[in-house]
Amino acid sequence: MDVLSEIAASLRSGDDKRVAQLTQQAIDDGLPADEILNDGLMSGMQVVGVLFRDHEIFLPEVLLAARAMNAGVDLLKPLLAGGDVPTIGKVVIGTAKGDLHDIGKNLVGIMLKGAGFEVIDLGNDVTAERFVDTAVDSGAKVIGISALLTTTMSSMKDVTDLVRDRGLAGEIHTIVGGAPVSKEFADEIGADGYGYDAANAVEQVKTLTGG
Amino acid sequence: MHPITTFPSSTATPDHRTVLNAQGIPDDAAVPKRVASLIDEGLEIFTGLVEATGLRAEITVEEFGAIYDGDGRNAPRTPLEGILPDAHRLALFAVTVGEAVCGEIRRLFGEGNPALGYALDTIASAGAEKLVDAMAHDYQEGISQSEPTLSSVRVLPYSPGYCGWHVSGQRKLFDVLDPQRISISLTDSCLMQPLKSVSGVLVAADKEVHDFDVDFAFCTDCADQDCRERIQTVFLDSRGGQ
């Protein structure tokens, strides 16, 4: 097995120390950083995403893989152009206004990063204005909003309304998710997408961005 | 002033299997070694950081009625409305695993260790539920000892934000119970901080009183419907189960 395949396999098993060791070995062998990133780390993370989507592995295993990926990326960053990891798009995420439950949002952010997106995480209790302003300023094409409570999911509509009121519909897409949120609710408030879990949210974002 | 209960960490600490289940891993699934180690590490951190405390205050049905109405935003029909008239005793309660655990969860996510952060988050949620169970159990035991005629009553908790009781009901509940004494505060949107806290009312009633059909308007929007599981425990308990 070549070193890149070994990186992917070690990432799949969540072995962060081995991933770091192999990434360093690949760097020392003179492999280009973007090749290590794409054919080693990202390749492994894609397999993890598919396995999770197909219910063949569980969420903690995805998170261990994400930790292993971070271990490899940290070594590659100084070698990549400008120190930036190349991305396939930007996504702004946060919890709905009034909501402080951020675990679901954090998981989506981790999986989006694993899929190659740049994630701008606004944290908790985010106003509609902040979501939209950040997306406009950063050039993000997707806003992801998470809510755990029925009482806070109503503020998701403030975001979809604001995107429409500012004439940004079609340019900036919205996707919603969280325990009380349903496809019907997403349609009702005019969201462009609904993620029923973290893996599905990533699939939806890829679809929305034409990925 | 209502006395503060301090629980030993063992009361709040869930078992390994409960945590795995809460992470979506069923009993019959093979658990990878790394995941098992992760849970063990999370449990160790939790045991070291948990500051499990609670408050409980007896209240009459009439007094509770004013709290339950809150800002007048409850669902038009709720299970508690049917249960309250037949309740023997009621007590407001609040429990928390403490801010140290919640701060550690944030730190782990912030420092790029989501696997352990998520494990600790799951453990803390299960821990808070264990404290509610402990509070309900103590209340039931106390009633049985002080009023032998009520030895067959069963206690179940109900919380604002669930089963049609609007979350804004937290404000009046906090006014009476004063959970700030155990460092639980309320945000403008009526969420508790630390997040891994639970408040509500403990209802002591004959077991049949707790049973209700899941035919309320809000039941269709309820993602987990774990009320059935909770109600089932009342009947299992009375047959010597649990």
Per-residue pLDDT tens over the stretch A69-115: 989 999 998 898 766 777 889 999 999 998 888 888 988 998 898 88
Chain A residue with the nearest C-alpha to that of B74: A151
Residue B89 structural domain: 4-240
What would the mean pLDDT of B21-28 be, rounded to a whole number? 90
Q: Do A151 and B167 touch (CB under 8 A)?
A: yes
Identity of the highest mean pLDDT range in A73-87, B20-34, B81-95 = B81-95
A98 CB contacts (<8 Å, ≥6 apart)? A125, A149, A151, A152, A155, B187, B188, B189, B191
Distance from CA of A100 to the nearest CA of B (A): 8
Chain A residue with the nearest C-alpha to that of B109: A106
Task: Locate B69 and state its tokens.
Answer: 């109405």
CA angle centred on A79, ends A76 and A84, rounded to 5°: 80
What would the mean pLDDT of B159-177 be, rounded to a whole number? 91
Please classify residue A160 by burial: count the beta carbons closer than 10 Å to its beta carbon, then call 0-12 exposed, 13-18 middle and 19+ buried.
Answer: buried
**Four-CA torsion A166, A168, A169, A175, nearest 10 degrees:** -100
> Taking a C-beta distance cutoff of 8 angstroms, is the pair B192, B184 a contact?
yes
How much of chain B, in percent, has pLDDT values that exceed 70?
Answer: 96
How much of chain A, in percent, has pLDDT values that exceed 90?
Answer: 71
Higher pLDDT, A54 or B173: B173
Domain count of the fold of chain B: 1
**Predicted local confidence at residue B242, as pLDDT:** 35
**Predicted local confidence at residue B223, as pLDDT:** 66
Whether B103 shows a pLDDT value over 50: the answer reads yes
Higher pLDDT, A84 or B9: B9
Whole-prediction pTM? 0.88
N-term to C-term CA, chain A: 30
Mean pLDDT of chain B: 91
**Predicted local confidence at residue B240, as pLDDT:** 41
In this complex, is the C-beta atom of B25 within 8 Å of any C-beta atom belonging to chain A?
Answer: yes
Name the pLDDT band for B224 (thresholds 50, 70, 90): low
Name the pLDDT band for A190 (thresholds 50, 70, 90): very high
What would the mean pLDDT of A25-49 be, rounded to a whole number? 94
Whether B239 shows a pLDDT value over 80: the answer reads no
Name the pLDDT band for B162 (thresholds 50, 70, 90): confident
By three-state DSSP, how is residue A34 classified? Answer: helix
Q: Do B35 and A61 touch (CB under 8 A)?
A: yes
CA angle centred on B192, ends B185 and A147, rounded to 5°: 145
B38 CB contacts (<8 Å, ≥6 apart)? A60, A64, B115, B116, B119
Alpha-carbon distance of A144 to A89, in angstroms, equals: 13
Residues on A contacting B at a C-beta cutoff of 8 Å: 13-15, 58-61, 63-64, 66-67, 70, 97-101, 103, 106-107, 110, 125, 149-152, 179-180, 182
Distance from CA of A181 to the nearest CA of B (A): 9
Whether B241 shows a pLDDT value over 50: the answer reads no
Chain A residues with CB inside 8 Å of B39's CB? Answer: 60
Higher pLDDT, B151 or A205: A205
The ipTM estimated for the assembled molecules is: 0.82
What would the mean pLDDT of B188-202 be, rounded to a whole number? 93
pLDDT digits (tens, 9 = 90+) for A114-172: 888 999 999 989 999 999 999 999 999 999 999 987 778 889 999 999 999 999 999 99
Which residue from A14, A107, A125 is facing B34, i.e. has the nearest CB?
A14
Task: Locate B134 and state its tokens.
Answer: 């402990």
**Predicted local confidence at residue B233, as pLDDT:** 84
Helical ranges in chain A per DSSP H: 3-12, 16-28, 33-36, 43-53, 59-76, 103-114, 128-138, 150-153, 156-165, 183-189, 198-208
Name the pLDDT band for B140 (thresholds 50, 70, 90): very high
Which residue from A67, A98, A103 is facing B121, i.e. has the nearest CB?
A103
Distance from CA of B22 to the nearest CA of A (A): 11
Which residue from A99, A101, A180 is facing B221, i.e. has the nearest CB?
A180
How much of chain B, in percent, has pLDDT values that exceed 90?
Answer: 70
* CATH number (domain holding residue B106): 3.40.109.40
Closest by CA to A77, choosing from A85, A69, A86, A65, is: A85
Minimum mean pLDDT among A149-163, B7-21, B197-211, B223-237: which range?
B223-237
Residue type for B8, please? Answer: P
**Predicted local confidence at residue B161, as pLDDT:** 86
Taking one residue from A and the other from B, the number of pairs with CB-CB distance under 8 angstroms is 81
Alpha-carbon distance of B20 to A177, in angstroms, equals: 23
Q: Do A60 and B25 touch (CB under 8 A)?
A: yes
Distance from CA of A58 to the nearest CA of B (A): 7
By three-state DSSP, how is residue B101 classified? Answer: helix
Whether B194 shows a pLDDT value over 50: the answer reads yes
Chain B residues with CB inside 8 Å of A179's CB? Answer: 223-224
Alpha-carbon distance of A91 to A195, in angstroms, equals: 14
Q: Do B114 and A110 touch (CB under 8 A)?
A: yes
Q: Do A15 and B34 touch (CB under 8 A)?
A: yes
Q: Which of residues 82-121 of B touch A (CB under 8 A)?
A: 109, 112-115, 117-119, 121
